[in-house]
A and B are shown apart, each in its own frame.
Chain A
Amino acid sequence: MQNFLRDAVEFMPILLQGVWLTVVVTIGSLLLSTVLGLLWALMRVSGIRVLSGLSAGLINVIRGIPIIVLLFYLYFVMPDFGVALTALQASIIGLGIAYSAYQAENFRAGIEAIDKGQIEAAQTIGMGWWLTMRRVVLPQAVRIVLPPYGNVMIMMLKDSSQASTITVAELALQGKLIASSTFKNTSVFTLVALMYLTMSIPLILLVRHFENKAKRK
């Protein structure tokens, strides 16, 4: 135990650098996946066949490709097409695209849960598609969508470790580097696990808060 505490004090500063990148990757890809997911979902429910077909196709393609392959593609293949991304950019874009498919399905479920009668009522007072979305559908869909959205945040935090495969020195990779140079596997990976857990717990509590709020509605 004493050894562990000593190791902890020694490795913590390096691991915290990794935490910083983990947070950057997680927040960056969360924002990107939210924007893209909302875009796919709105295309899907637009009632315009070309857009909804395109969205359905995109979602299936994205869902069918492993995140790690998507990351390799962005980081190692795109330069051949003249698009050179930094490892951090590639990881945020890759995770953002990968998760946009799940976000889209979540958002769509929330949008479709709104009673059609309300949409008709909005139409009969002269609201167009976008105004109906903005004033009637989305404000209610948000409440339905929040609990699963919180779960996506947790999954995203953990999946940000996949950025380590394309050299982003986030928490998992920092841990691996320290472990391979000191051979203190137990201390290092226990610390890494505890740090992920510490970051997850507030998110888990947030999800519970959302769920309680949704239940009270």
Chain B
Amino acid sequence: MIELSNVHKSFGSNEVLKGITASVEKSEVVCIIGPSGSGKSTILRCINGLESYDSGEILVEGAKVDNKAPSIVAIRTQVSMVFQRFNLFPHRTALENVVEGPIYVKKEPPAEALERGRALLAQVGLAEKADAHPGQLSGGQQQRVAIARALAMQPKAILFDEPTSALDPELVGEVLGVMRKLADDGMTMVVVTHEMGFARDVADRVLFIDGGVIVEQGAAKSVLNAPQHARTQDFLHRVLHPL
């Protein structure tokens, strides 16, 4: 349902994506791993038009992603995003954060949206935090609200941009748990992550990106357990055995 073909993207003279070709099928969980600065986040940001790309093509359900065109709004409501730093709206409660899109973008009747919003908060284990403001929540709770906010748009896919990188280690599990449940329910997910355990257990496929190109890709277990390429081997060795 998401297709990238030969996507190039530069920031000034720095080419961060040097011809990315990949696809994500419906209900598939794809993890993107790689060293920092390799272009992982930029791929996600191009898929839902937060960044424009210079050449190549990105299609979401057959529709071309072009963040200058009005069609981008429709694409964004189909492909939600969860950020490293949560990016909740601090002046609104958890529940208000979740129903903001349904009420103001999708024009759902508020009563219905609120009911669904509460159900979504319950789904991520935060039913009792509906009226709390983001500032009163832990990082893990905020990220779960952000996931509920993404789900509230009833997207066909969710992009996760290092969703646990800003969390204290003991809070990582609760967020990964919610994501694993989503994957089990058949949500299409593209996850930029450094959590190799999650990638191994939950992902269908892993892409290893370095220097703006896909160095290696394949079934999660084969890439992570038996990487073919020297750069992948080196990266995994450093991530899994940092000392």
Contacts and interface: CB of A to CB of B under 8 A. Distances in A.
Interface in B181-196: none
A122 B150 CA distance: 11
B101 A127 contact: yes
A117 B104 contact: no
A135 B50 contact: no
A125 B85 contact: no
A122 B50 CA distance: 11
A126 B105 contact: yes
Contacts of A135: 89, 100, 104
Contacts of B80: 124-125
B87 A126 contact: no
B32 to A, nearest CB: 17
A140 B89 CA distance: 9
A117 B101 contact: no
A121 B89 contact: yes
B88 A121 contact: yes
Interface in A123-169: 123-128, 131, 135-136, 139-140
Nearest to B90: A140
B91 interface: yes
Contact of A120 (B50, B88, B91): B50
B83 A131 contact: no
B95 to A, nearest CB: 15
Contacts of B141: none
Interface residues of A, number: 17
Contact of B77 (A122, A126, A131): A126
Given A131-B104, A131-B105, A125 B149 contact: yes
A118 interface: yes
B104 to A, nearest CB: 6
Nearest to A139: B91
Contacts of B74: 126
A10 interface: no
Contacts of A140: 90-91
A122 B87 CA distance: 9
A136 B89 contact: yes
Nearest to B74: A126
A128 B77 CA distance: 12
A124 B50 contact: yes
A124 B76 contact: yes
A115 interface: yes
Contacts of A127: 101, 104-105
Nearest to B78: A126
A124 B100 CA distance: 12
**7 shortest A-B CB distances, which residue pairs?**
A125-B101, A121-B87, A117-B87, A124-B81, A126-B105, A126-B77, A126-B76
Given A124-B48, A124-B80, 6 more contacts: A121-B83, A121-B149, A123-B49, A123-B50, A125-B80, A136-B89
8 contacts: A124-B48, A125-B76, A125-B101, A125-B152, A126-B74, A126-B101, A128-B73, A131-B104
